[in-house]
C-alpha cells in the first residue's frame, strides 16, 4: 500500500507529458541526418535517457506536492493526493524527492554533459516554479510561461541524447515554448470554469488576476506565436511541409474545443491521449509532415518570391 502511495506521489501517470522529448529526437534525425544512428546502443541510450527525464520530472511533481500541501486541499481532486490526504508524511515525501533527484541525475550524468546540465535546468525550473521567494506559479501569466518552458527543456533533452555538436533551430524551441503555453492556459481556463469561485484563489493565487476572458485570449495569443514560428520553420526547412500546417491549426482548435467543454479533460493534459479523435488528428499531421519532407512541389517556391508578377 505504501509503494502504491509513493507511485501516486511521483505521478507516474504524468509521464506521458514527456512526449515532448520525442520531437527533439525526431527533429534531430530529420534535420541533422547522422549516418549509422539507428543501432542497439543508441536505442538503449534513448530508453535510459527517457527514464532519467521521467524520474527528474517525478521529483519536480513531489516538490510541487510538498509546496502546495496547504492549497491543494481546496481542489476537489488534488485533495485526495497521498501527501495532502495524510497517506504519506512530509518526511517521507522529502526523502522521496531527493531519492528521485539523485537517481535521475546519476543516469543523466552517464548519458552526456549536455543532457546532464539540461536535467539540472529542469530541476531549477521546478524550484523557481514552486518555492519562494519567486514561486512563479502564484503570478498570473508568469505561471504559464515558466511551466511551459519545461517543454522547451524536454525538447532540448531529446535533441541532446544523440547529439553533442549541434544546437536546435531557435524557431523550434519557440514553437514548443508557446505551444506549451497554449496548453497550460487552456488548462487554467478549464480549471477556472470547473472550480467553485470561493476556492479559486485559495487553490491557486494566480487566479486572483485571471478571468475567463483573459485566459481564453491569452491562449489564442500563445497559439498565434507558436503558429507564426511554425510557419517560419516549415518555410526555411522545406516549403512543401506547409501542406501540414492546416492540420496543425486544426489540432490547436480541437484542443481549445476540449478546453471549452464542461469538466474538461484539458485540466489533466497527461490524460489527453485518451481522446482518440485528437490523437488521430495528431497522427495524420505527423504523417503528412513526414511525407512532405520527401516530395518536391516546384509551384510552392512561388511563395518565396515576393516580386510582383505580371498578368
User: Is residue 151, in this structure, part of any structural domain at all?
Assistant: yes
- CATH number of the domain bearing residue 35: 1.10.357.140
Q: With bands split at pLDDT 50, 70 and 90, how would you rate the model's confidence at 108?
A: very high
Residue 87 in this model has a pLDDT that exceeds 90 = no
Cβ count within 10 A of residue 89: 11
User: Is residue 304, in this structure, part of any structural domain at all?
Assistant: no
Question: In this predicted structure, what is the pLDDT of residue 263?
Answer: 81
User: Is residue 310, in this structure, part of any structural domain at all?
Assistant: no
195 and 148 fall within a common domain: no
User: Is residue 306, in this structure, part of any structural domain at all?
Assistant: no
23 and 121 fall within a common domain: yes
127 and 18 fall within a common domain: yes
Among residues 135, 167, 199, the one where a domain terminates is 167
User: Is residue 303, in this structure, part of any structural domain at all?
Assistant: no
43 and 99 fall within a common domain: yes
82 and 206 fall within a common domain: no
User: Is residue 305, in this structure, part of any structural domain at all?
Assistant: no
2 and 121 fall within a common domain: yes
50 and 189 fall within a common domain: no
Question: In this predicted structure, what is the pLDDT of residue 143?
Answer: 93
135 and 214 fall within a common domain: no
Domain range for 245: 169-296
Question: In this predicted structure, what is the pLDDT of residue 166?
Answer: 82
Mean pLDDT of 277-293: 91
Among residues 167, 189, 217, the one where a domain terminates is 167
Mean pLDDT of the chain: 86
User: Could you give the CA distance from residue 299 to residue 301 in angstroms, rounded to a whole number?
Assistant: 5
Give me the residue label for grid cell 518536391: 296
Digit-coded pLDDT (tens) for 24-74: 988 888 887 666 677 788 888 999 999 999 999 999 998 988 887 777 677
Question: In this predicted structure, what is the pLDDT of residue 171?
Answer: 94
Q: Report percent pLDDT > 70 for the chain.
A: 92
184 and 162 fall within a common domain: no
User: Is residue 261, in this structure, part of any structural domain at all?
Assistant: yes
Among residues 118, 133, 167, the one where a domain terminates is 167
Residue 90 in this model has a pLDDT that exceeds 90 = no
Question: In this predicted structure, what is the pLDDT of residue 157?
Answer: 93
Digit-coded pLDDT (tens) for 196-223: 777 777 777 888 889 999 999 999 999 9
Question: In this predicted structure, what is the pLDDT of residue 34?
Answer: 66
Q: What is the pTM of this model?
A: 0.87
47 and 143 fall within a common domain: yes
Residue 267 in this model has a pLDDT that exceeds 80 = yes
113 and 155 fall within a common domain: yes
31 and 158 fall within a common domain: yes
Question: In this predicted structure, what is the pLDDT of residue 237?
Answer: 87
Q: How many domains does the chain have?
A: 2
User: Is residue 301, in this structure, part of any structural domain at all?
Assistant: no
Amino acid at each position: 500500500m505504501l509503494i502504491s502511495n509513493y507511485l501516486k506521489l511521483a505521478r507516474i501517470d504524468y509521464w506521458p507529458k514527456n512526449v515532448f522529448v520525442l520531437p527533439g529526437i525526431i527533429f534531430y534525425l530529420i534535420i541533422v541526418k547522422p549516418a549509422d544512428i539507428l543501432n542497439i546502443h543508441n536505442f538503449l541510450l534513448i530508453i535510459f535517457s527517457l527514464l532519467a527525464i521521467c524520474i527528474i520530472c517525478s521529483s519536480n511533481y513531489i516538490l510541487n506536492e510538498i509546496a502546495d500541501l496547504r492549497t491543494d486541499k481546496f481542489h476537489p481532486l488534488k485533495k485526495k493526493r497521498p501527501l495532502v490526504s495524510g497517506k504519506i508524511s512530509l518526511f517521507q515525501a522529502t526523502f522521496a524527492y531527493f531519492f528521485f533527484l539523485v537517481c535521475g541525475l546519476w543516469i543523466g550524468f552517464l548519458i552526456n554533459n549536455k543532457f546532464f546540465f539540461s536535467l539540472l535546468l529542469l530541476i531549477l525550473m521546478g524550484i523557481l516554479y514552486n518555492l519562494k521567494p519567486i514561486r512563479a506559479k502564484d503570478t498570473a501569466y508568469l505561471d504559464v510561461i515558466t511551466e511551459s518552458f519545461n517543454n522547451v527543456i524536454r525538447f532540448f533533452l531529446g535533441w541532446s541524447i544523440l547529439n553533442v555538436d549541434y544546437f536546435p533551430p531557435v524557431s523550434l524551441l519557440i514553437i514548443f515554448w508557446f505551444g506549451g503555453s497554449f496548453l497550460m492556459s487552456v488548462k487554467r481556463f478549464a480549471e477556472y470554469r470547473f472550480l467553485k469561485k470561493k476556492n479559486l484563489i485559495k487553490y491557486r493565487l494566480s487566479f486572483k488576476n485571471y478571468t475567463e476572458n483573459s485566459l481564453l485570449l491569452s491562449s489564442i495569443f500563445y497559439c498565434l506565436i507558436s503558429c507564426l514560428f511554425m510557419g517560419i520553420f516549415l518555410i526555411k526547412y522545406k516549403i512543401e511541409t506547409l501542406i501540414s500546417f492546416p492540420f496543425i491549426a486544426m489540432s490547436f482548435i480541437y484542443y481549445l474545443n476540449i478546453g471549452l467543454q464542461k469538466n474538461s479533460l484539458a485540466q489533466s493534459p497527461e490524460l489527453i491521449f485518451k481522446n482518440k479523435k485528437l490523437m488521430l488528428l495528431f497522427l495524420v499531421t505527423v504523417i503528412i509532415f513526414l511525407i512532405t519532407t520527401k516530395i518536391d512541389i516546384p509551384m510552392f517556391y512561388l511563395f518565396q518570391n515576393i516580386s510582383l508578377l505580371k498578368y
